[in-house]
Structure 1
Amino acid sequence: MAIVNRVLLILVVCAAQLAWAAPGQIVARPIGTVSGINYGFWEYLPQDYDDDPEATFPLVIFLGGLGEAGDGSAGTTTGLEKLMSPTAPPKLIRNGRHFPFVLISPQRFNAWWSNAELDAVLEFAKSHYRVAPSRVYLTGISAGAIVTWTYAAAHPQKLAAIVPIAGNGNGVNVCALWDVPVWAFHGTSDGTVSYWGSVDPVNKLNTICTPRASPPAQLTLYSGVGHDSWGRTYSGSAGHDIYTWMLGYSRPQAAE
């Protein structure tokens, strides 16, 4: 019996070590398996995350759209695998790409995160990983981009930059983002979310808000492209390096 208990203890210890020892890999964290967060999520730690226990890293949170919503389970067609469908950071990492930031991609039963829910995810990530609070970035697609606009307008002090893709920032207080770098992307033939949902808030930030956006908000429109304007953006195939752009900004006054 003692031998059995010893073996079980070893297995538990090994499992605990493996649970968080995955630099350079994209790892599924199903709902209910990680204390402190009420959602399933994908986790990626940079390849050098374990090299220096004192080092901190940027944090990118990626939000999927309605097509990526699910129950947070692992290995099922209704769970976290749905977040691997679009060409976005989780899928790029699975296919061999590496990034110099911590990536968290949470899943909700639908994609409409409340500000409080998303804030809880962000605070979990800041307390659970070695994240630099001044270098937190938010990006999302479709409904996830709408949430990106909404959360950023509510908590601009917590974000160093945002990249909403095929979203809609109308109806939120975008002027609160005057000092948050914004780079929005949209296809001009998007039949799901009108590209004016990106044009109008960017124009407002740059020409109407007081003070005006500093730096000026950026907008990239893809002529003739439909709703999926994110694949070419995240992969860089359209010639835009959003990752270098995001990481070029920090927010020293970011809330701890």
Structure 2
Amino acid sequence: MKPKPLSKDFYSFLIFFSSVSCIIALIQSVALVVIGSQMIGLQSFDSWMWLVLCVIAVTNVAFIRYLAHVGYRWTAYACAASSLAVFFQYTLILDRELRVFYQEHYHAVASILFGSALLWGLSLTFTKASEKRWLRLSGSLTIIIAISLATLFFLYFQTGEGSTKLLIDKTSRWVSLFGVLPSVCLIIHFYQENEQLSPTGHARAHTFPALLKLAAFVGLLFFGFRFSVEAVGYSMPYKPSANDLRRSKLVDAYHFVDKSGDSLHYRLLKPVDYDSTRQYPLIVCLHHGGAHGKDNMQQLSADPAPFLMELPTRTKYPAFIFMPQSPKGLGFSGAYGSASVDSLVFRTIRQLVGRLPIDRKRIYVMGISGGGYGSWHFISMHPELFAAAIPICGGGDPKYGPQLVNVPIWAFHGARDRLAPVSHSRDMINAIRRAGGKPKYTEYEFAGHGIWDKVGEEEIMEWMFAQHKE
């Protein structure tokens, strides 16, 4: 028996939410192209993601109902699997504790996403659903995009070259932008089917679907506007403030270029009352994620640089302060296989040690957030180089714990940090302690990610300058 056709109201509902989902996907893809993974750090990100989850849930439930009604059973199963995979990923990103699992099992989660998307595309292309031209085209586009992204993902983690990683990452962002095309095909399909239905007269509107539409529309206007404005603001060219310009006049700007042509911008501040016949400590100051670029200036205003540059601090603790700037798309740690500028930093350090009166027994590293991860990474890669480290809101690979037993470390973290999970610091500290080391660790119970003001009140300089290699 042929099933009764779905109502025009249902098609209207499905077209509306499919359109909202398409607009959401476009906004998010454009943000990804413009600022990349940095959008996770936007203040509006969590509220935006809850809107995304709700709209996806309503849209996919309606779509699965449609597929089941018209007899596309296997396609409905594939749609459900793909929806669950997306929900799984977004849940991991939104939850502070689960985000740790997501970061540690990123490859597995990505494989599930690519696999479920490919299954969804195949179900539209090679099952009964392929009888409908726009469904078949949507499936074909989904297959092409899923395979392309999976290939780029594989290549990204196979290459160790920073510039190549940046190119692959940029390419994958643009490919993701075309991910809205399959949704457009679905909207066209639903619109055509809706046009083929006979008018049913003025049926009474159902309250609940109408409320869902209103909520989605208002949510898109409010949260979409906030998210878009913040993303655009984040992507705007850096405009130095009066304080930035003042600081920049105090610190010499340099540009290191290695034999392969890769370059690193950095600033170097000499000790107060510099005496070339004396030896001074070297402080490697690693900025957070908000200071990436090529202007060679933003890192001067990124904690902990302003603290180290204060005259009372420099007078009491004279040292060379080395402040490298990581380009956008790169980091100091290469965490989870991401592109890193670490090798350039180490080469620059070796160059500085060779031409300046630096005490090789007193080279220190400190940084916050991305710089905190970089601090852990630096001492893990070259524990013989550093006399002490102060990683703040960071983390590393616990397998390096035994190598850090003899490195003086004072780590800091906020227990309620949503950007850098506190477990990342805890795991490193516990790994070192299990190996017999005695690192210092301060955790602020009620603090989040912004803990520098608290850290700056600690006796970190006194502790750090008391450390030296034998």
Give the TM-score band, short-chain normalised: 0.7 to 0.9
1:93 CA drift (Å): 5.0
Q: Indicate the structure whose relative CO is greater, using CA pairs within 8 Å and at least 6 residues apart.
A: 1
TM-score w.r.t. structure 2 length?
Answer: 0.41
Query: What's 1:74 paired with?
Result: none
- Contact between 1:62 and 1:138, CA under 8 Å: does it hold in 2? yes
Aligned to 1:156, what secondary structure does the other structure show? coil
> What SS is found at the alignment partner of 1:103?
strand
Which is richer in strand?
1
Alignment of 1:37-186 (within 5 A): 38-50=263-275, 53-71=276-294, 79-88=295-304, 90-92=305-307, 94-97=309-312, 98=314, 99-109=317-327, 110-112=330-332, 113-186=340-413
Structure 2 equivalent of residue 219 of structure 1: 441
Asked if structure 2 preserves the Cα contact closer than 8 Å seen for 1:115 and 1:154, the reply is no
Amino acid at match of 2:448: G
1:31 to 229, 239, 255: 255
Alignment partners' CA distance in 2, 1:126 and 1:231: 31
How many residues align? The count is 208
Unpaired segments ≥5 residues, structure 2: 1-248, 333-339
**Equivalent residue of 1:168, what SS?**
coil
Distance 2:381 2:254 in 1: 28
Q: Report the Cα offset of residue 160 of structure 1.
A: 0.4
Task: Tell me the SS of whatever aligns to 1:137.
Answer: strand
CA contact (8 A) 1:57 1:131 kept: yes
User: Quick one: structure 1 residues 189 and 116, their matched pair in 2 at CA, closer, same or farther if it must change by over 3 Å?
Assistant: same
TM-score with structure 1 length normalisation?
0.74
Rounded Cα–Cα distance in structure 2 between residues aligned with 1:228 and 1:219: 17
CA contact (8 A) 2:268 2:321 kept: yes
Question: CA–CA distance in 2 between the matches of 1:174 and 1:147?
Answer: 15
Structure (1/2) with the larger helix percentage: 2
CA–CA separation in structure 2 for the residues paired with 1:68 and 1:172: 29
Cα distance change, pair 139–172 in 1 and its aligned pair in 2 (3 A) = farther
Unaligned ranges ≥5, structure 1: 1-24, 72-78
Displacement after TM superposition at 1:172 (Å): 4.6
Q: Which has the larger radius of gyration?
A: 2
Question: How many Å apart are 1:194 and its aligned residue?
Answer: 0.6
The residue type paired with residue 92 of structure 1 is F
Alpha-carbon distance in 1 for matches of 2:252, 2:265: 8
**Equivalent-residue separation in structure 1 for 2:420 and 2:461 (angstroms):** 24
- Give the Cα separation in 1 of the matches to 2:415 and 2:290: 21
Residues 245, 144 of structure 1: CA spacing in aligned structure 2 closer, same or farther, 3 A cutoff? same
1:64-116 Cα distance to aligned partner (Å, 9 max, x none): 12211111xxxxxxx2332133342x313555442311100001203334442
Question: 1:117, 1:184 → 2: CA distance?
Answer: 24
Task: Find 1:232's aligned residue among 440, 454, 457.
Answer: 454
What secondary structure is seen at the aligned counterpart in 2 of 1:226?
coil
Closer/same/farther in 2, CA of residues 95 and 65 from structure 1, 3 Å limit: same
* Preserved contact between residue 324 and residue 345 of structure 2 (Cα < 8 Å): no
2:389 and 2:300 map into 1 onto residues whose CA distance is 21
C-alpha separation in 2, matches of 1:43 and 1:67: 20
Kindly state the Cα deviation for residue 124 of structure 1 after the two structures are TM-superposed: 2.0
Deviation at 1:121, TM superposition (A): 2.2
The separation in 1 between residues aligned to 2:382 and 2:346, in whole angstroms, is 9
Aligned-residue sequence identity (percent) comes to: 24
Aligned to 1:21: none
Instruction: Give the letter for the 1:91 counterpart.
Output: P
State the Cα RMSD in Å: 2.4
Do structure 1's residue 242 and structure 2's residue 442 form an aligned pair?
Answer: no
Preserved contact between residue 65 and residue 111 of structure 1 (Cα < 8 Å): no
**Structure 1 residues 205, 57: closer, same or farther in 2, change over 3 A?**
same
